[in-house]
């Protein structure tokens, strides 16, 4: 029965991570277009924008938190795989479980802190001190959302590492 909910959670996180990655990719293209437009206007027409840098910064926050969980799922975060050739398959499995456990702990702490900050921002309802008058809450809300997906993905990765048999070395 426990395997059933883990399989379901794995499907859900993979589907969400595909959507998150697509959105992050679209944001990366949008940021590039905005910066290109600003550079073109500044250098070709001597008419820099007052909004491009602010919008790019806000979109970069969204891009980061949307790409956080998909990067974990695909192994895009920093890892030390050079140890694999020096330890036994059983030790490698234990190291992977330990690493995923630490990743999950980190994700939970990050989620807790970001949620506290985001709730505070919603209570204060302040504006960013930028050229664009934008409420801070409209940027901060993505932090807990992206981090929650990161935590769910870490749970799935930990479950996979836990249930995996020790890899066999080819001779």
pLDDT < 70: residue spans in the chain: 1-2, 166-171
User: pLDDT tens-digit profile of 21-41?
Assistant: 999 999 999 999 999 999 999
User: pLDDT tens-digit profile of 41-65?
Assistant: 999 999 999 999 999 999 999 999 9
The answer to whether 109 and 151 are in contact (CB under 8 A) is no
Under 8 Å CB-to-CB from 27, ≥6 apart: which residues? 59, 60, 62, 63, 66
Q: What is the DSSP string of 12-36?
A: HHHHHHHHHHHHHHHHHHHHHHHHH
Residue 50 CA from chain centroid, whole number? 29
Under 8 Å CB-to-CB from 144, ≥6 apart: which residues? 111, 114, 115, 118
* pLDDT attached to residue 171: 44
* pLDDT attached to residue 82: 79
Q: Rounded to two decimals, what is the model's pTM?
A: 0.91
The answer to whether 153 and 73 are in contact (CB under 8 A) is yes
Query: How is the chain split among helix, strand and coil, in percent rounded to 5?
Result: 80, 0, 20
* pLDDT attached to residue 78: 76
């Amino acid at each position: 029965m426990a395997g059933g909910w883990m399989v379901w959670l794995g499907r859900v996180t993979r589907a969400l991570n595909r959507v998150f990655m697509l959105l992050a990719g679209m944001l990366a293209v949008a940021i590039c277009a905005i910066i290109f437009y600003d550079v073109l206007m500044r250098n070709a027409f001597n008419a820099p924008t007052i909004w491009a840098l602010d919008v790019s910064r806000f979109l970069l926050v969204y891009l980061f938190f949307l790409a956080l969980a998909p990067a974990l799922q695909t192994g895009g975060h920093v890892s030390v795989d050079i140890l694999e050739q020096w330890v036994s398959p059983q030790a490698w499995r234990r190291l992977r479980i330990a690493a995923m456990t630490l990743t999950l702990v980190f994700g939970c702490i990050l989620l807790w802190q970001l949620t506290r900050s985001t709730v505070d921002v919603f209570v204060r309802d302040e504006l960013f001190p930028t050229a664009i008058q934008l409420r801070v809450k409209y940027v901060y809300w993505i932090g807990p959302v992206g981090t929650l997906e990161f935590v769910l993905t870490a749970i799935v990765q930990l479950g996979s590492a836990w249930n995996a048999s020790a890899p066999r070395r080819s001779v």
